[in-house]
Amino acid sequence: MGYVAHEAAELLDRTSEEIARLGQITGAEVPADGKGYRAFYSFANLVEMRITEELTQFGVPRKHIQRYLTALRNSHMRWLEEDGAELGAWLVIGGEKWAAGSTMTIALGTLQLSGPIVSFVAIDAGAIKQAILRRNGDAVDIGQ
């Protein structure tokens, strides 16, 4: 299932213009192909857009964000998907390094294995996913 810009904007509580700007960083599942064509965003794209917003607020450069998103996609982390099994999902970024895990402690611990980390950014992608699902009426009770 794909979302056009106005549907994505409604789910993320953003404008269509903001979705278009974020889509330039994250990409779209089906890019717009010329004038008059619409881009379609997957659920994973919506999660990536919210992650992008948070990283941007922390001052992470666009080229680094794109690199992290590519690495995240290549890691086959199903928690980015609407029906992904894991709801607890953290992305931790320290300098040029990143790690993901079901808890911040696990993700940070994995990141620290590659050397000492002075400062880091931690993003609760599971909470982002839940917020989007809730707005879409598909929230999952994580207490199960």
Instruction: Report if residue 35 sits inside a domain.
Output: yes
Q: Domain residues for 117?
A: 5-135
Asked whether the beta carbons of 87 and 79 are under 8 A apart, the reply is yes
DSSP 84: -
Instruction: Report if residue 141 sits inside a domain.
Output: no
pLDDT category at 144 given cuts 50, 70, 90 is very low
Asked whether the beta carbons of 52 and 26 are under 8 A apart, the reply is yes
Higher pLDDT, residue 28 or 95: 28
| b/e sequence 77-109, b meaning 16+ C-beta within 10 Å | bebbeeebebbbbbbbbbeebbbbbeebeebbe
Instruction: Report if residue 144 sits inside a domain.
Output: no
Report pLDDT for 77.
65
Instruction: Write phi, then psi, for 92 (nearest 5 degrees).
Output: -120, 130
Report pLDDT for 106.
87
pLDDT of 139 higher than 60: no
Instruction: Report if residue 67 sits inside a domain.
Output: yes
In the chain, the number of structural domains is: 1
**Which token pair is 18?**
């903001």
Instruction: Report if residue 142 sits inside a domain.
Output: no
Least confident window among 17-26, 56-65, 74-83? 74-83
Average pLDDT over residues 112-122: 80
Instruction: Report if residue 86 sits inside a domain.
Output: yes
Extended strands (E) in the chain: 90-94, 97-101, 121-124
